[in-house]
Chain A
Amino acid sequence: MNTPLTHYLILSALLFSIGFAGAVARRSAILVLIGIELMLNAANLNFIAFWRYGPHTEALTGVMFVLFSIAIAAAEAAVGLALVIAIYRQRKTAQVDCLDALKG
């Protein structure tokens, strides 16, 4: 394990930014969701990396957190995609910039 912790974190930051850029720049709601999943995964990677490089690997905190995070991500994806489908049915589009009925 010679790879420095920083490299993992940089990888995580990269993934986060890519996901963020996609979520901000693409119009398709599904792609926005994918971007958000990427961001979530980047956070998970951070947890794992810090667990691996942390002083108390036997405590498994990071691993547990990521396991729960994955489970919650599954729920999030299911509900999110169901919402996209429902919106598409209602509005005949799933492009986020067309969906601005909730403005102040």
Chain B
Amino acid sequence: MEHVVQYLWLIPALPLVMAGWGALLKRDRRRLAASLAIGGVALSWLLSCVAFLASLSAHPFRETWSFRWFEIAETPVPLGWVLDPLTAVMLMMVAFLSLLIFIYSLGYMARDDNFTRFFCFMSLFAAAMLGLVIANSLLLLFICWELVGLCSYLLIGFWFEKPAAAAAAKKAFIVTRIGDIGLLLGMLWLYSRSGTLLFYDHGHGCLEQSSLARLVAGTTVGGMAVSTAISLLIFAGAVGKSGQMPLHVWLPDAMEGPTPVSALIHAATMVAAGVFLVARMFPLMSAGPHPGALQVITWVGAVTAVFAAAIAVAQNDIKRIIAYSTISQLGYMMMGLGVGGVAVGMFHLITHAFFKSLLFLGAGSVIHGSQGERDIRKMGGLKKLMPWTFATYAAGMMALCGVPLFFSGFWSKDDILRAAWNWPVSAIPFCLGAAGMFLTAFYMTRQVSWVFFGKPADSRAPAHESPAVMTIPLAILAVFAVLGGFLGTPAWPWFQSFLNGEKTPFTPAALVAGPQLDLLLLSTLVVGAAFFLGWRIYSKAALQSPREKDPLEKSLPALFWLLQNKFFIDEIYAATVIRLNTAFSSFADWMDRVIWGGAVSAVSALTFVCARINRAFDELGINAGFDFGCDELRGAGGFLSWMQNGRVQHYLRIAGLGLSLLLLALIWGCA
């Protein structure tokens, strides 16, 4: 295992090299670019498998390896990697999903002009994300964090000729940057307090006992423990990256990018990086007798879960619905982390990664098959036309909704709800979670019934099934979306024990023990009710025309209006933050123009006057003399040019003459 961790850097290095190579390729080397990217990520996946197997059998629960990056005035800046179960499962997930989505992109991007650029960016993203996962230093993590942000920006704006895409890219970059400021501040504070940014360093790392004890002991404004304050700052970064309230606004817009990007970056991996960050920093977050940070995380997560799910109910863009669903599920993960710890949140992260990327890729397949159409009101009846897509999409949808027993989302959500139920602080998160679950099932029913059931829409060309290179990844993902849940049932919580480094008990009795059975029944009930209601409302009333009103809009117009406009968060931002910013910049502009500009103008006017005087002096006094000198020089030049007649021997003669003259002078001088 020691060797494994020492060479862990190879996993991100391979895609990085491929990205660099890909960047040098000409645009028409499409096959090479794709093979490079896929080959690189496939090798990374194989290496990840090795790392995973190594961590399965590892007895030291966690291995680290660090090196000195550089020194500033004898202060070393170390970087390093860590291999523990958290890293291992994330590596497997990221590398495997990247591989599948790269393959899927072969089909999806086949007609794009900038195919090579796409794969270059994707490889870079994979490298950065894998680097983020293996980082044993908050600094390295932050570097990779920013790199994935950059890749996200580049890939959202991949079709930058579309104004909406360019704007969305900018928005994503700036909004996430707001969270990153928090992360940066938290990092600096952490460094100033603990003196190291290595997570684990044989007892000296910032997440280990000695350092945590110091952090907990210190207090800051309002009697808050330093560890809590730092945790909140770091959580701000996670909020930005994972699209939590109130920084969720960029994620729905990010759907302007190509669908594989949405699947990989904005559903499965990068947005989950926030959750991963909280999981990674969990020892810090949960430090102290009263971990206030965890409460904040729980509340933010719970509110986000319900809030985003509610918005999703009233959206019409197929990818946008899934995007809001992603925000909502990320809220669940945060809540899970807050109430139940690393294992609970991470389990949902992993299962969600599979079924959500499945849903995105399915949506991509639908869009691909119906010539770029994204409005679900204009679709319908695709069940027959795209059977593979339908089957896999249905599996993903059921996993997302949490259909009992056989779908992975059920088990992971059940885990979260159980933890929320047992949370001593408040019962409200549990209620919010249940409500979110209901809404999730409801809007997914709406979407599926409109897209796949009903009559085919009368579009110009009929929809068609996607090529095998797209459907095969879908099928693989569907298998994982179904089976993934069995790794963490209450009866055999292998995943949770693996993350905590414990042995896995097999206790079928746990399924029916205590409140467990009630919870299972309750969630079954909630999901069933949502299905029933959704089917009642939407299946019959498949829309005749896109202009027709939504059935829900007919019955509850005010609420629907609010939801359709996403609670006016964007508008609120426009009215407050952006207006304040505009006012401030106007003020700065005024300062610049009137005060500084005036000063500069005064100086320049003065200079101008001096220059006038100078010029008069110049023209009358100096130029005349200079002209005279020039004329003389020209005459001399003419003479020299007459001497320069182009004949080598002439020059040589003159040189000889000069030599003899010098000799004469020498003799004369000596004599």
Contacts and interface: CB of A to CB of B under 8 A. Distances in A.
Interface of A: 20, 23-25, 32, 96-97, 99-104
Contacts, number: 35
B641 A23 contact: no
A50 to B, nearest CB: 17
Contacts of B641: 103-104
B660 to A, nearest CB: 10
Nearest to B640: A104
B649 A103 contact: no
B645 A23 contact: no
B644 interface: yes
Contacts of B656: 20, 24
A14 B310 CA distance: 108
Nearest to B643: A104
A94 to B, nearest CB: 12
Interface in B617-671: 640-649, 652-653, 656
B648 A103 contact: no
Nearest to A98: B647
A104 B642 contact: yes
Nearest to A17: B656
Contact of B649 (A97, A101, A102): A97
A104 B652 contact: no
A64 B631 CA distance: 51
B640 A96 contact: no
A67 B390 CA distance: 87
A100 B656 CA distance: 20
A32 B656 CA distance: 14
Contacts of A24: 649, 652-653, 656
Contacts of A102: 646
A99 B651 CA distance: 13
Contact of B645 (A20, A25, A103): A103
Given A20-B656, A24-B653, A24-B656, A96 B644 contact: no
Given A20-B656, A24-B656, A100 B649 contact: no
Interface size bracket, B side: 10 to 19
B375 to A, nearest CB: 74
B650 to A, nearest CB: 9
9 contacts: A23-B649, A25-B649, A32-B649, A96-B647, A100-B647, A101-B646, A102-B646, A103-B646, A104-B640
Contacts of A20: 652, 656
Nearest to A29: B648
A104 B645 contact: yes
B652 A103 contact: no
Contact of A96 (B642, B643, B649): B649
A97 B649 CA distance: 8
B189 to A, nearest CB: 67
A52 to B, nearest CB: 23
A79 to B, nearest CB: 16
A52 B652 CA distance: 31
Contacts of A32: 648-649
Contacts of B645: 100, 103-104
B646 A23 contact: no
Contacts of B647: 96-97, 100, 103
Nearest to A20: B656
Nearest to B651: A24
B652 to A, nearest CB: 5
Contacts of B642: 104
A103 B646 CA distance: 4
A25 to B, nearest CB: 8
A32 B647 CA distance: 12
Contacts of A96: 647-649
A23 B649 CA distance: 7
A25 B649 CA distance: 8
B475 to A, nearest CB: 71
A24 B653 CA distance: 6
Nearest to A96: B648
Contacts of A99: 646, 648
A99 B643 CA distance: 16
A99 B646 CA distance: 7
Nearest to B659: A20
A100 B647 CA distance: 5
A34 to B, nearest CB: 14
